[in-house]
């Protein structure tokens, strides 16, 4: 919520903001839509298997070994965006360049 309020503060001053967050709860998605002018929600839908493969911080390994709990998408419920403005589905066939191009094409329609 801190990031959302900061984005609202900046956009209220006429500053364009781009921010990447893991928004886990529908209340956050709703608040952003209702309070941030020109808000565009982009959902990058990445399968759990791919997230586990990447795991740069070792979070999934720590969960599997019992070291930590409350990991998003495993034992912590996630509210995926219901109606994002742009929904990009990750695929091993798509590289970053093709996903970025798809994002640009979709944003033009928002």
The per-residue pLDDT for range 90-109, each reduced to its tens digit, is 887 777 888 888 888 888 77
Same domain, 6 and 53: no
Q: For residue 62, what are the domain limits?
A: 45-110
Domain count, the chain: 2
Shared-domain flag, residues 51 and 6 = no
Query: What are the structure tokens assigned to 3, written together?
Result: 């990031």
What is the pTM for the complete model shown?
Answer: 0.81
Tens digit of each residue's pLDDT (9 = 90 or more) over 33-90: 999 999 999 999 999 999 999 999 999 999 999 999 999 889 999 999 999 999 998 8
Same domain, 27 and 76: no
Do 75 and 92 have their domain in common? yes
Alpha-carbon distance 103 to 99, whole Å? 6
- Are 8 and 51 in the same domain? no
* Local confidence band at 4 (pLDDT 50, 70, 90 cut-offs): very high
Which of 5-14, 19-28, 89-98 is least confident?
89-98
73 plus 29 within the same structural domain: no
């Amino acid at each position: 919520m801190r990031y959302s309020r900061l984005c609202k503060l900046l956009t209220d001053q006429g500053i364009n903001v781009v921010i990447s967050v893991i928004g886990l709860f529908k209340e956050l998605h709703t608040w952003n839509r209702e309070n941030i002018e020109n808000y565009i929600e982009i959902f990058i839908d990445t399968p759990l298997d791919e997230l586990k493969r990447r795991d740069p911080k070792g979070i999934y390994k720590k969960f599997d070994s019992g070291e930590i709990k409350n990991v998003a998408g495993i034992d912590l419920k996630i509210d995926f965006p219901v109606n994002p403005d742009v929904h990009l589905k990750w695929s091993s066939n798509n590289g970053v360049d093709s996903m970025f191009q798809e994002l640009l094409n979709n944003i033009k329609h928002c």
